[in-house]
Structure 1
Amino acid sequence: MKFNHTEEIAQYTPHWQGERFANGRPKVPSDILRRMKKITIEEAWGPLWNRGYTFQFEGDFKIIHPQQVMVGRAVTAVMVPKRPDLHDALLRYGHEQEGRKGFFNQWVIDELEEDDVVVVDLFDKIFKGTYVGGNLSTAISTRTKRGGAVIWGGIRDNQQIVEIDNINVFYRGSDPTAIEDVTMVGMNTPTRIGRAICLPGDVVLATPSGVIFIPPHLAELVVVQAEKSQVRDIFGFVRLRDLTYSTAQIDSAWPVALWEDFLHWFGSAAEAQEYHHLNWDEELAEARRLGDQGSQAGVRL
C-alpha cells in the first residue's frame, strides 16, 4: 500500500471538479471556508440529509475551546490496534520507501497545509491513544494557521493545548500516556468518526454542537442555502415586528408580492449587506411560475 496516494484520493472524490492539492485532495476555496464559519450545524445538516448524506454528523466530543468554531479541509488518518507484522511492515515502508520520519501520527501532521483539519479514527482509544500533545498541537497551529484536529481517541498535555488559541481540538478523552500499540493503515482514505464518515478534502465544520463533514462538491451549495435561510429569517423578523405579515405568511411559500417586498428590503437594508453576493432569480421565477399556475387553475374553475 501507499500512504497519501494521489490516484486513490481522486478515486474517492470523483464529484469534485475544482482545484486539488498536489496529492489529489480537493481544495475547496478559502472564501467558502470563511463563509462556512458563520453557519450552524443544523443549516449544514439539512442540504446533506436531503441528498442522502445521512452519516455526516457526530456530536460526542470534548472540546479544547468549547465556544470556538473550527472550519477546514480534512486530512484523514485511520489507526488500528498494533499487530506486530503489519506494524513493522508499514512503519518500515514509510521510512524506507516514502522517506517519512518519526511515528505514524507525525507523518500526517507533516502533510498539513493552511486551513487543514486532522481527522483521525483512533478507534476510541484513550489510554496509550493520545494522538497529539503540546508539541504536535503546536505543529498543527503553525502549519494550518486556523485549523485543528478531530480525534476519535485521546490527547495529552491539555493544559498546553488550551493555550494555543488559533486552533481547536475535538477529542474523546485525555490521558498522560504517550501513544503506543497503534498502527496507521490509511492516510487520506475514508475515515469513520463515530457515526460519521469523512473523506479527504471534506469541509469540517466543528461547533459546540459537534462536527459535520461536508463533501467538497456540496460545500458551496450548503453555504449558499444556509446564507439564504439566514437573511430570509432576518427579513421575516423585521416584518413580523412591524406587523406587516403573519407568521403563517412568513413560514409559507412566498407569493410574488412578498418576494418583491423582500428584494426591495434586501437591496437597501444594512442587515442584508453581507449577503449581497446571493442571487434570487431562481426563487422569484419559481414564485411567478406557481402564481401563474394558480391563476390558470382559477380560470379553469
Structure 2
Amino acid sequence: MKYDNPEDIIQLTPLWQGERFANGRPRVSDDVLRRMAKITLEEAWGTLWNHGYAFQFEGDLKIVHPNQVMVGRAVTSVLVPKRPDLHETLLSYGHQQEDRKGFFNQWVIDTLQEDDIVVVDLFDKVHQGTFVGGNLSTAIASKTKRGGAVIWGGIRDNQQIVDIEGINVFYRGSDPTAIADVTMVGINSPCRIGKAICLPGDVVLGTPSGVLFIPPHLAELTVVQAEKSQVRDIFGFVRLREDIYTTAQIDSPWTVSIWNDFTAWLDSTQESAEYRHLTWDQELEDAMRTETEGNSGQVRL
C-alpha cells in the first residue's frame, strides 16, 4: 500500500472534473470556499440531501470556537487500534519508503496546504487518542491559515488551542494523555466521522450545528442554490415590509410579474450587489411556462 496515493484519490473522486492538487486531491476554487463561508449549514445540507447524499452531516462534536464557521478542503486520515505486526510494518514503511518523520499524526499535518482541514477517523478514541495538541494545532494554523481539524477522537492542550487564531477544531473529547496504541491505515482515503462519510477534497463546512462534508462536484451548485435562497429571502422581506405582496404570494411559486420585479430590484439595490453573479433564466422560464399552461386551461364562456 501507499499513503496519499494519487491513483487511488483520482479513482475515488471521478465526478470531479476541475483542478487537482499534485496528489490528485480535488481542489475546489478559492471563490467557492469564500462564498461557502457565508451560507448556513441547512442551506448546504438541502442540496446534498436532494441529490441522494444522506450521510454527510455529523453534529455530535465539541467545538473549540463554537461561534466560528470553518470552511476548507478535506485531508483525511484513518486510524485503527494498534496491532503490533501491522503497526511496525506501516510505521517502518512510512519512515523508510516515504521518508516521513515522527508519528502517524505528524505525517498528516506535514501534508497540509492553505485552506485545508484535517478530517480524522480515530474510532472515537479519546484517552491516548489525542490527535493534536498545542504544537500540532499551531502547525495546522501556520500551514492552512484559515483551516482546522475535525477529529472523531480526542485532543489535548485545549487551553493552548483556544488561543490559536485563524483555525477551529471539532472533536469528541479531551484528555491530557498523548496519542498511543493507534496505527494509521490511510491518508486521503474514505473516512468515517460518526454517521458521516468524508472523501479527500470534500469541502468541510463546520458550524455551531456540526460539520457537513460536501462532495467537490456539488460544491458550486450548493453555494449557488444557497445564495439564490438568501437573496430571494432578502427581496421577500423588503416587499413584505413595503406591503407590496402578501406572505402567500412570497411563499408560493412566484408569478412572472414578481420575477420581473425581483430582477429589477436585483440590478438596482446595494443590498443585492453581492448576488448579481447569479442567473435566473431557468426560474423565469419555469414561471412563464406555468402561467401559459394555466391560461391555456381556462374555459371561456
Task: Tell me the TM-score normalised to structure 1 length.
Answer: 0.99
The ranges of structure 1 where at least 4 consecutive aligned residues each deviate by more than 4 angstroms after the TM superposition are: none
- Counterpart position of 2:256: 256
Q: Give, as a single letter, the amino acid of the residue that structure 2 aligns with 1:182.
A: V
Matches for 1:172-251 after TM superposition, within 5 Å:
172-251=172-251
Give distance in 1, aligned partners of 2:297 and 2:94: 69
Deviations 1:139-184 (A, max 9, x none): 0001000000000000001111111110000001100000000000
Q: Which amino acid aligns with 2:98?
A: E
Q: Distance in 1 between matches of 2:258 and 2:62?
A: 44
Q: For 1:49 and 1:154, how far apart are their aligned partners in 2?
A: 29
1:39-118 paired onto structure 2 within 5 Å: 39-118=39-118
Partner of 2:151: 151
Q: Quote the Cα distance in structure 2 between the aligned partners of 1:175 and 1:35.
A: 35
**TM superposition shift of 1:299:** 5.6
Partners of 1:254 and 1:150 lie apart in 2 by: 41
Q: Which runs of 5+ in 2 are unaligned?
A: none
Helix, strand or coil: the match of 2:298? Answer: helix
Q: Residue 294 of structure 1: CA displacement?
A: 1.2
Moved more, 287-296 or 215-224: 287-296
User: Once the 2 structures are TM-superposed, how far is the Cα of residue 95 of structure 1 from its aligned partner?
Assistant: 0.6
Q: 1:19-51 deviations in whole A, cap 9, x for unaligned? A: 000000000000000000000110000010011
Amino acid corresponding to residue 39 of structure 1 in structure 2: I
Give aligned pairs, total. 301
CA distance in 2, matches of 1:297, 1:13: 47
SS state at 1:172 partner: strand
Aligned partners of 1:262 and 1:148: how far apart in 2? Answer: 39
Task: Give the partner amino acid of 1:59.
Answer: G
For 1:128, the aligned partner's letter is: Q
Tell whether 2:293 aligns with 1:293: yes
Q: Distance in 1 between matches of 2:291 and 2:73?
A: 42
Quote how far apart the aligned CAs of 1:11 are: 0.7
CA distance in 2, matches of 1:98, 1:297: 71
**Shift in alpha-carbon separation, 1:300–1:148, aligned structure 2, 3 A:** farther
Residue in 1 aligned with 2:132? 132
* Residue aligning to 2:280: 280
Q: CA RMSD in A?
A: 0.9
- Identity across matched positions, percent: 74
TM-score (norm 2): 0.99
* Match in the other structure for 1:269: 269
Give the letter for the 2:117 counterpart: V
Q: Report deviation, 1:270.
A: 1.3
Return the alpha-carbon distance in structure 1 between the equivalents of residues 240 and 24 of structure 2: 49
CA distance in 1: counterparts of 2:266 and 2:97, whole angstroms: 58
Instruction: Specify the SS of the correspondent of 2:183.
Output: strand
Counterpart Cα distance in 2 of 1:298 and 1:183: 70
Q: Is the partner of 1:268 in helix, strand or coil? A: coil
Shift of 1:300: 8.1
SS, match of residue 53 in structure 1: coil
The 10-residue stretch of structure 1 (45-54 or 287-296) with the greater mean CA deviation from structure 2: 287-296
